[in-house]
Structure 1
Amino acid sequence: MTNWITKINGSDVQHATDVHFILNGQAAESAEAVGFSVINYAPYQLRDAADEDVETRVTTLLSGVQPDDLLIVQWPMWQADARFEKIFIEKIRLIPRVKIAALLWEVMPWLMTDDLSDGTHPEMTKLRDFDLLLVGNPKLAVQLRDSGNIALPMLAIGLIDFKCQGLLKAKTDFKDLVFIDSNGTEEEMSYHGQPPFIAMADGGFGVVPAARSQYEAHTNSLELSKYLSMGLPVVIRANMAQAELVRLHNLGIVLDDLNAIDAVLADMTIMDYQEKLTAVGAWSEAVRSGYFVKRACLESIRILKLREVDYLAEI
């Protein structure tokens, strides 16, 4: 039995600057580290291709998959032609006893419209074809179940892994606020020769941007993971999906209104800050090492192949 994960191979520019390609590649690397094999594919230009041509390409990609294998599909697959994803899943289902999970990076209908009540979009129907959904957090899982009408088992991953490289600086000035731009990936991360983080801060709190939509309030924050990878505690709004995780593990400050931060920092002592730094340490290492995707991959095996479900699997 072989365990597989998909990986999209784009241009050098895409893998250096497009966050979807970067996270997809990092996830595939993490999966390989726990024994998964990779199915590589490209962003094909198939709009003028006949259905038979798309089927031939997909069949070739899946030629190594055998009965009883497990396949994690990083979803969406970032293809211009929607037929590719549909045919990809259909072809997998023709292989006896193969289990398939979706590592869900985006819920495309909700991303495009911000209508979290829409469970009828064809893209939502595709999600129901999987055996397991690996979703960002419990808040999104509940929304998918209640509004998306998805009754599949779901496992909340917890955090986005972010493989920032370089040594962490000692944290001294704890009352600074650090801001990074989620769109500046080429300059803000070290990945396959790209420059290191420009904001390897020596203290303070990383400010997680407010959700710009209902959908963003249900998704995992890449900025949160960037700050944790730097070893920084965070400031996060209470309506964000990961606010409870931050509160529960003392990873920073949770506020209803960011305007209250000055008063909170005025009352904070260096001892308070050191406690948060200590709490962040293990989470920083986990994010930097790809722990959350590795765990999701191993949990997929346990749930789908070994059929073991306990409190670790948030079903």
Structure 2
Amino acid sequence: MTVHITDLNGMAYVSVAQIAQNMVTKIATNELNFDPFTIYFYAWKDEPVDVISARFDGIIAALQDGDTVVIQSPSWNTIEWDQKFIDRISIYRNIKKVIFVEDIPPLMFESNEYMLPQYIDYYNKADVLILASRKLYDYLRVHGLKQKKVVIQHMWDHISQVNPYIIPKNKKVINFAGDPKKFDFVKDWSSENVKLNVYSEPLEGVNNPNITFTGWQDDPVLINSLRKAGGFGLVWSEEPYWSKYMKMNASYKLSTYLAAGIPLIVNSDTPEKDTIVNKKLGIIADSIDEAVDKVEHMSDMRYNEMKDNIGEFAKLIRGGYFTKRALIEAVFKAQYE
């Protein structure tokens, strides 16, 4: 039996979706001996049946009866494309299909909400699902997902190397790796005692001495920039529809901060909140004002305790262990249970 895994290509260099999928594939192929099926991201609404059939045959040329296929979802082509792809795989005998649900567009964007039944139908074709959280599984069940063998991802990995000579310190700074155009708190930042570092291009019209825009940074640079900045890493949402999704989904940003070795700021609805609290990996805040206040009054002793705990916990994330565990468990559930 060969285990295959799909891999996304063709998106922008800075696409987090592609970066995450490529990382999963690298872990799967380099450490678990999976075979990659490369899927190209493209737009061809009226692609002829014979052309898409030939495309699928090329992608799955190495597939044989009895193999297992891990599909990283979505492909970021259309849901119709994804449906046709899994149907093509299903032509082979005794194929076990695992869908690694990394994002769900109908839950990410309110304009796509109407497509959720199509995605549920797609997930129902899998033998095993890898999902971010138990909350997400329960939500999908309410909306039509059949009872499934499920593996919970818990957290993203973030394969990286850190400079051990850069030690994060208890600086009064909050780091935010996100698009500032989507967040009012960046434009409205008023704290003089706690600075804000934003890892993106400058926001037009914002000239605040308490905000530093670093520009977009490639991953090895970003990880050590965060270490050097110290302080905390913020995982946040203000848009209600996206906030609902974040209560169920795993945040790649969260794992980026942990890989860098800095404590987190998350809200009380974060799926892995209990892990963060119990293992002392960060602080809980349900408003920006609360986050600023806690950072401002953070003692060196408490900060260093969190930093040291993260130093141990981050070995899992930097080493790809969440991904390896999820993939191995999914294959066992598909082939053994």
Equivalents in 2 of 1:51, 1:140: separation in Å?
Answer: 34
SS in 1 for 2:65: coil
Q: Does the aligned pair in 2 maintain the 1:189–1:197 contact within 8 Å?
A: no
> CA contact under 8 A between 1:9 and 1:43: conserved in structure 2?
yes
Where does the alignment leave 5 or more consecutive residues of structure 1 unmatched? 308-315
Q: Which position in structure 1 is the counterpart of 2:232?
A: 205
Deviation at 1:280, TM superposition (A): 0.9
My pick for the range that moved more, 24-33 or 84-93, is 84-93
Cα 1:123–1:37 shift into 2, 3 Å: same
From 94, 97, 105, the equivalent of 1:97 is: 94
Q: How does 1:8-157 map to 2 (within 5 A)?
A: 8-10=8-10, 14=12, 16-32=13-29, 33-79=31-77, 81-113=78-110, 121-157=117-153
How far apart, in 2, do the equivalents of 1:163 and 1:155 lie? 21
Query: Identity, % of aligned pairs?
Result: 21
2:159 touches 2:319 (CA, 8 Å); kept in 1? yes
Normalised to the residue count of structure 1, the TM-score between the two structures is: 0.85
Match of 1:311 in 2: none
Identify the residue that residue 162 of structure 1 maps to in structure 2. 158
Q: CA deviation at 1:297?
A: 1.1
In structure 2, list runs of 5 or more residues that go unmatched: 181-198, 201-214
Deviation at 1:100, TM superposition (A): 0.8
CA RMSD of aligned residues (A): 2.6
SS in 1 for 2:126: coil
For the residues of structure 1 that align with 2:4 and 2:277, how far apart are their CA atoms? 35
Shift of 1:211: 5.3
Q: 2:281 aligns with which of 222, 232, 251?
A: 251
The alpha-carbon deviation at position 103 of structure 1 amounts to 1.0
Q: Distance in 2 between matches of 1:227 and 1:3?
A: 31
Tell me the equivalent position of 2:216. 187
Q: Distance in 1 between matches of 2:321 and 2:333?
A: 18
Residue 41 of structure 2 aligns to a residue whose secondary structure is coil
Letter in 2 for 1:257: S
Aligned residue-pair number: 300
